[in-house]
Each structure stands twice: as C-alpha cells, then as structure tokens.
Amino acid sequence: MTPRLGSTKILSHEELFARFGPGRTFKLVFTNGCFDLVHAGHAAFLERARALGDALVVGVNTDASARRLDKGSGRPFVSETDRALIVAALESVDAVYLFDETTPADLITGLLPDVLVKGADYTLDEVVGRDVVEAAGGRVELIPLVEGRSTTGLVRRIREENE
C-alpha cells in the first residue's frame, strides 16, 4: 500500500469542496483546532474522530486566526504551514484545510459534515456549527480528552522548567 503523503492532504478551498462537499456519497467527519505543539492527545482525538465516519477533514486555524483566540503569549509556536503538514501526516486525517476566520462556522455551513466533533472540554451549546449540522440531519460528538495531554499543559511545563 502506498502511503498518503501529508502534503497532498492539505487542500485549497476548491479541492476541499470538490472532494468533501455536499453531494458526497460517504459519511464525513469534521473537526477543527489550532494544533499547536501536536501531541499524543491530539493523535488519539483524531483517531477517535475518524472512527465515526468514512473520512475526516480537519480545519486548522491560520496563525492570524489562532492569535485572535488569545491562547497566550507567543502562540502559536508552530507556523500554520508546519501545523497543517503535521496534522495531515497523521493516517487518521484525510484532509486539512487552513481557515482564517476566528471560528469555522462558514466552513461547517459549506461542508455540512455528517458528524461534527469537538473535545469534551466543550459543551454541546458551545460547539460552533452545531445548529447547522443538526438541522441538516447530522450529529455532534464530544470526545473525551486524554488525561494529562494538552498543549496548555506542555507550555506550562516547558515554561516552569526554563524559569
């Protein structure tokens, strides 16, 4: 079996909608995030998300979008291009799309995924796009996070060890 190269899974808007937009014949799962300092918790989360359907599309915040989320000083640490490539390199991920908006609301509305996934650190009411997905007959899943595995925790530990 030929491995799928991560660089081929980072799609333009046109490619994304041609392959994964409405009219598809498979169950699409969508999630999003910054994915700054990708760790085992991210890998486990994306594997669990992918298991909910036939294809997983991951929206990755651009650097400007991530900065608007105010994740902390100097964030994101890793450039958008590198973050997209790292996420795309994971076998569980079928496509990555860099989005510049603060939330993926427009992307979700356009794609209309069958399953919208976020971490269980969110409540259903906090999930952007929930109303659109559910109105189209899809569902929202909250996946439990891996205990002790978070970017915030990594950043805290690195900063403490370097003080």
* 79-83 long-range contacts, CB within 8 A, separation 24+: 83/34, 83/35, 83/36, 83/38
Residue 91: inside a domain:
yes
Q: How far apart are CA 126 and CA 74, in angstroms?
A: 26
CATH number for the domain that contains residue 137 = 3.40.50.620
Residue 1: inside a domain:
no
CA of 153: how far to CAs of 49, 101, 127, in Å? 22, 26, 23
Tokens 């046109």 locate to: 14
Residue 14: inside a domain:
yes
Residue 79: inside a domain:
yes
Please state the pTM of the whole predicted model. Answer: 0.90
Residue 33: inside a domain:
yes
- Number of Cβ within 10 Å of residue 25's Cβ equals 5
Q: How far apart are CA 93 and CA 57, in angstroms?
A: 6
Number of domains in the chain: 1
Q: How far apart are CA 118 and CA 103, in angstroms?
A: 13
Return per-residue pLDDT of the chain as tens, 163 residues.
566 788 899 999 999 999 999 999 999 999 999 998 888 889 999 999 999 999 999 999 999 999 998 777 777 989 999 999 999 999 999 999 999 999 999 999 999 999 999 999 899 999 999 999 999 999 999 999 877 666 666 666 766 777 7
| Structural domain boundaries, residue 39 | 6-20+28-161
